[in-house]
Amino acid sequence: MASSLVFVSRPSFPREQFLSLLDLAVTEQLVPEGLELTVKTNEERLVTKVELRNGTREELQQLATEFIDRHVESRILNYSDVCVAVVPEEITSAPQLLLLMDVDSTLIKQEVIELLAAHAGREKEVAAVTEAAMRGELDFAQSLIQRVATLKDLPDSVLAEVGERIIFSDGAPSLVRRFHAAGHKVAVVSGGFQQILDPLATTLNLDHALANTLGITDGVLDGTVHGEIVDRAMKETKLRTWSEEHQIPLNATIAAGDGANDLDMVCAAGLGIAFNAKPALREKADVRLDFSRLDVIADLVLDDLN
């Protein structure tokens, strides 16, 4: 089966450098000679797609990774300059895709638990636990219980206050719009909190949105999580459940996240994306995206640019 080799630059990356990179890809036989390479522009990003028919996806991905690593080592590039991905035909030719994303530090710029903890004067303590959990050094469920306990006795009004401070990642609304315009499904699954997620899901018109539920008693956070905790295993389960619900094959799914808690869904998806991710995820994902435009995901898999 054919795969697409996709190059997407960060915003405002010099066109001359991008063209030089494509020339190197031809010279070093990552891209076959004689092909006419078209460069499209989107939001100051440069996008080129090349259809490759020789080599397996794994072989092509290894070659692409080595190509980028080599030129970062030689200081021609930084990882934050260009995203290079091998996108399988099962993704590019699928009649419908399912995109599943993490929320904190992926769909949005913040970690909600840290915003809530700031109201309790425990922000630094909670941030340290969050970082360790996202690196995979702590069990996520236990770390969540530990962090939520610090919120005990906060008035539930803090949820609305924190909700007003949420900032979508650059390009997040555009990403969802482009996927929906192409007839695809977009969902999120989060180790954060349903009470914060629901308004965001409504704003973006998401097809599915699941997170943990904070316990509230008499208008006060009781320091507990109600129901089954949304951990890395649950995230993969929802990827499979929602793809089956929409009759979308697993190889036509895309999953994106930033931490160890996203590892199972990213590895299970047809295309797994590490978005400005911790090493535990970055080393396992199919795609390494190291600059802050989330809608690069649409550049990689959709054919909607002029």
Q: What is the pLDDT of residues 21-65, one digit of tens each?
A: 999 999 999 999 989 999 999 989 999 999 998 889 999 999 999
Higher pLDDT, 2 or 62: 62
pLDDT reported for residue 237:
98
pLDDT reported for residue 128:
79
Q: Tell me the per-residue pLDDT of 145-157, one tens digit each, with 9 for 90 and over.
A: 988 988 999 999 9
Q: Tell me the per-residue pLDDT of 249-271, one tens digit each, with 9 for 90 and over.
A: 999 999 999 999 999 999 999 99
pLDDT reported for residue 146:
87
How much is the mean pLDDT over the chain? 94
Report helix angle 140-149 to 112-119, nearest 10.
30
pLDDT reported for residue 212:
97
Choose the catalytic residue: 23, 69, 81, 104: 104
Active site (annotated) includes residue 299: no
Residues 213 and 194 sit within 8 Å (Cβ to Cβ): yes
Confidence of residue 177 (pLDDT cuts 50, 70, 90): very high
- 236's CB contacts (< 8 A; 6+ apart) are 264, 265, 268
Compute the distance between CA of residue 54 and CA of residue 32 in angstroms, rounded to an integer. 10
Confidence of residue 139 (pLDDT cuts 50, 70, 90): confident
pLDDT reported for residue 136:
78
pLDDT reported for residue 158:
93
pLDDT reported for residue 72:
96
> What's the average model confidence in pLDDT over 66-80?
95
pLDDT reported for residue 140:
84
pLDDT reported for residue 124:
82
pLDDT reported for residue 99:
98
Lowest mean pLDDT among 37-41, 110-114, 211-215: 110-114
> What's the average model confidence in pLDDT over 243-254?
98
pLDDT reported for residue 269:
98
> What's the average model confidence in pLDDT over 295-303?
97
Choose the catalytic residue: 81, 102, 207, 231: 102
pLDDT reported for residue 80:
97
Active site (annotated) includes residue 102: yes
> What's the average model confidence in pLDDT over 124-143?
80
| DSSP per residue, 241-292 | HHHHHTT--GGGEEEEESSGGGHHHHHHSSEEEEES--HHHHTTSSEEE-SS
Q: Is the pLDDT at 70 greater than 80, yes or no?
A: yes
> What's the average model confidence in pLDDT over 281-305?
96
Q: Is the pLDDT at 126 greater than 80, yes or no?
A: no
As to burial, measured by CB atoms within 10 angstroms (0-12 exposed, 13-18 middle, 19+ buried), residue 189 is buried
pLDDT reported for residue 150:
87
Confidence of residue 2 (pLDDT cuts 50, 70, 90): confident
Q: Residue 305 carries which side chain, given as an amino acid letter?
A: L
